[in-house]
Structure 1
Amino acid sequence: MTYDGLIKDALAAHGLLLRGGFNFSVGEDAPPGPEGRPARAVLLVGQAGAEPWPHFLRWRQARPEIRENPLDSWSREVIGDVAGRFGARAVSPNDRPFLPFQQWAMRAEGLKPSPLGILMHPEYGLWHAYRGALLFDHEIPIRQAEKVIHLCDLCIGKPCLKACPANAYSPAGFDYAACLAHVRGAQGERCMTGGCLDRNACPHGLAYRYPAEVQAFHMAAFAPPA
């Protein structure tokens, strides 16, 4: 089994996926690797659909004391354990200072952003995420990302920009204040319990759509009580 195959198996035990990677160019502004020197390679870790959810729930039940950002805590613990097994340094999208995870993902998988800002995947649609990355002090044989069809370019109606009652998403960008005010208001219950209406309006990747329970969890994290 190849090196990345072993990592794939270690992540799969937690419902996570190895989502491509690349070697940093010489002189590129790379974050520190395990030994503190600029990393030479990065592998992205993420999910498709809600595969990690049951693993996360079991972990959460065993650690009821962790109340703040439990999904981030779970991701860091799991990916950190895998990193330790393979001599890597684990990093998270929420680490400060922020690392360019979206740019890394676009480079690793050849994806482009949707009108909602979420990267559009040709199979998963908008129902995927990146939970962390593994940084290495050495280069890794990594297959270069192939050019993929950007489904948003083929979408004429753009239903993802028409379902939100608050018109939070538009070609001008995301109106965070309008979204937050709506979901916290009297008309926002549908969004809070079933997820973002614009995201759910996208016709792609429906087999990977997060269950309502998962979407409600993420909405509660996005819009906690004021």
Structure 2
Amino acid sequence: MIAPAGSVDRIAAALHANGLVLRGGFNFAPVDAPPTGSSGAPAAALLLVGQAGAAPWPHFLRWREQQPQAITNPLDTWSHEVIGAVAETFGARAVSPSDKPYLPFQQWAMRAEGLKPSPLGILMHPHYGLWHAYRGALLFDDELPVQAAESGPHLCDSCVEKPCLKSCPVEAYSAQGFAYQSCLAHVRGANGEPCRSGGCLDRNACPYGTAYRYPPEVQGFHMASFAAVDLIETQP
């Protein structure tokens, strides 16, 4: 069975009320071995939920003010609550990138939106650049009137200078991948304050999607979470 087209629009509107957006979707094929939907049977369709720029931030901050200060992973918790409420309303199962065992969110995103990875591993979006994220997905028992997007030109292919690989003081990103420990040590160290307060220098060097760049307080929040430090006074 295929759900009516208007249901997708209503879901988008419900997410938009919290600064979130639908990031595409598709119907599973039998060979996909999809995760289960709300009924416990293999899901028939998926809608990705995410953000473009920092639109969810004010909604998250208002929610955070009402929560205990010691709450663990507050952004994940907020995302679970918001997306879970939408899932309950529309008869879907909500899943998150942080759920274990991990689900193939990056593969789903590439399929749904036709995106490809940047040299930093973040998917390059033709409008948002690197300033977007996936917060969850909705799994449905019935097919939806959606289809996977075709891949378009990859912005990174036409970027000759690759400033995203030249701005990190410890060259954390390279053709060999992400040097996690080097990055972490630098961010936590005496010379890591620019990264702690303003975010990843390589990511900020990318020339695409700058209108959607996260404000410094948002980047500082994410960096503090990554490095397990409490250094940004403006973070919730």
**TM-score normalized with structure 1 length:** 0.98
* Aligned match of 2:234: none
Aligned-pair CA distance for 1:63: 1.1
Give, in whole Å, the separation in 1 of the partners of 2:156 and 2:227. 27
Runs of 4+ in 1 over 3 A off after TM superposition: none
Q: How does 1:111-122 map to 2 (within 5 A)?
A: 111-122=115-126
Quick one: which of 197, 202, 210 aligns to 1:198? 202
Report whether the alignment pairs 1:2 with 2:6: yes
SS of 2:65's partner is helix
Post-superposition offset of 1:67: 2.0
Counterparts of residues 62-77 of structure 1 (less than 5 Å): 62-65=66-69, 67-77=71-81
Report if aligned partners of 2:15, 2:22 keep a CA contact under 8 Å in 1: yes
Deviation at 1:154, TM superposition (A): 0.5
* Percent of residue pairs identical: 69
8 Å CA contact 2:114, 2:148 repeated in 1:
no
1:31-46 matched pairs, under 5 angstroms: 31-46=35-50
The Cα RMSD (Å) is 1.2
The more displaced of 67-76 and 147-156 is: 147-156
| TM-score of the superposed pair, with normalisation by structure 2 | 0.93
Question: Is 2:217 the counterpart of 1:219?
Answer: no
The amino acid across from 1:123 in the alignment is H
Q: How many residues align?
A: 226
Q: Which amino acid aligns with 2:43?
A: A
Whether 1:175 and 2:173 are equivalent positions in the alignment is no
2:116 pairs with 1:133: no
Distance 1:29 1:102 in 2: 16
Query: Structure 2 stretches of 5 or more lacking a match?
Result: 231-236
> d(CA) in 2 for partners of 1:144 and 1:67?
37
Pick the aligned partner of 1:96 from 93, 100, 116. Answer: 100
Which of residues 82, 86, 89 is equivalent to 1:85?
A: 89
* 2-structure distance, mates of 1:6, 1:107: 23
